[in-house]
Amino acid sequence: MIEIILQNFAGEVALMPIRGIQFFSQVEWGDPYDANIIIHNLEAESSFRLSPITRNTHLGTIKRLGYRFEATLYIPYNKLYDNNLDFILEEVLKGRYSLSLILGTSRGWTENGYTPPKAINSTYGTRMSISSFSMNHSIEIESVEFRPRVVLRLFGFVKRLSEIVF
């Protein structure tokens, strides 16, 4: 028997909001869609979810087929034309890609030495990496008070939780 007792829960929870996302191209080098992209400073409402996909068997048991990955990322829509975000979202994400969510105090890889602002309400950091050719996305633009924002929804499938690297 395994007994787990959670004590001092409020002081021991590691807070890790989504701070950024990295896309890694899975196409051949030199392909027009060959690019690695990092988007920093996502809005605080961004979230992800892993949920099991199950099926009933003829023996009356439940078989786990895999896990559905869903992420909703809110990206500020400031000067879309100037920073070429339209090309990135429409063209580069057409190819195969894997991704890493940058959580909490973790930092993404950058060439120019960019240091993101200090994480607010964050006590720990890690990256969640998913390499899957079954990744898909949708792009929306919505209006929030005085400015629009991009809503990037990512959908994927992994067979086992061990395919997700933390």
Which pLDDT score is estimated for 111?
Answer: 62
Mean pLDDT of 16-25: 84
Reference 70, options 142, 141, 154, 166; nearest CA is: 154
Sign of the alpha-carbon torsion through 59, 61, 66, 68:
positive
Q: Which of 48-52, 70-74, 80-84 has the lowest mean pLDDT?
A: 80-84
Mean pLDDT of 127-143: 81
Tokens of 75: 């990206």
Tokens of 165: 């690297």
Indicate whether 108 pLDDT > 80: no
- Residue 52: pLDDT band (50, 70, 90) is very high
- pTM summary value: 0.78
Residue 43 to residues 3, 32, 59, 81, 113: CA-CA distances in angstroms?
A: 39, 29, 46, 20, 22
| CA–CA distance, 22 with 102 (Å, rounded to integer) | 8
Mean pLDDT of 48-75: 92
Reference 107, options 17, 19, 13, 24; nearest CA is: 19
Which pLDDT score is estimated for 148?
Answer: 82
| CA–CA distance, 157 with 17 (Å, rounded to integer) | 22
